[in-house]
Structure 1
Amino acid sequence: MTKEMFAENLNTKFRLNAGSSNMIEIELVELSEGVSTPKQEQFALLFRGPSDFFLPQRIYHMEHDKLGEFDLFLVPVGRDENGFQYEAVFNRFIQSS
């Protein structure tokens, strides 16, 4: 998964299994770029989830209409009037062609 793939799906909903077959939706609300080099890509994703359901830090199985299914490590980073916020940080090497 690349930064561009997530950028194309900003402000869309992702479904995840929150345990006991409890599926909830979270929305990708922000993509922040880190310090990248020609060989390394760094970025962070910020998701917003419901205010009445807290997700602890762990790996979640995610589903998205365009991106398909994948696992993602989410960390709770805040809460506001719109819900809980979760972050996923990417720091990956870029494959040379």
Structure 2
Amino acid sequence: MIDKLTAESFENLGSQTFTVTAVEPPQRLKLVEVVRKGKGERMGGAFSLLWQSDSESILPQGCYTFKHDGLGDLDIFIVPVGQASEGVHYEAVFT
């Protein structure tokens, strides 16, 4: 399913929460940005997603299962890209 998702699939989900279930305790990440990156190999073009956690705990870069009420379970590779007072920012890039 992940190969069928496009930037448009996420653009209306801003500020919604995804739960990373593959860690204990599960972490909640809020989608804060969707950026279209132009042409890519995937249908709809390349894009990136930026999430913010509500935890000081940093997930190492890697593939995690994200659970979302509307999209279901998605395996997404994320990279921690910064830490703010509110939590950690993570990015996923789809090309």
> For residues 85 and 63 of structure 2, what CA distance do their matches in structure 1 show?
25
Deviation at 1:36, TM superposition (A): 2.2
> Any stretches of 5+ residues in structure 2 without a counterpart?
none
Amino acid at match of 1:30: E
Structure-1 residue corresponding to 2:61: 57
Query: Moved runs in structure 1, 4+ residues, more than 6 A?
Result: none
Give the superposition deviation at 1:10.
Answer: 1.3
Identity %: 36
The total of aligned residue pairs comes to 89
8 Å CA contact 2:6–2:47 kept in 1: the answer is no
SS in 2 for 1:34: strand
Using the size of structure 1 for normalisation, the TM-score is 0.83
Question: How far, CA to CA, are the matches of 2:90 and 2:74 in structure 1?
Answer: 16
For 1:5, what is the secondary structure of its paired residue? helix
RMSD value, Cα: 1.6
Structure with max Cα Rg? 1
Match of 1:8 among 2, 5, 12: 12
- The one-letter amino acid paired with 2:19 is R
What TM-score comes out, normalization by structure 2 length?
0.84
SS of the equivalent of 2:45 reads: strand
Listed as ranges, the gaps of 5+ residues in structure 1 are: 92-97
Q: Distance in 1 between matches of 2:48 and 2:54?
A: 20
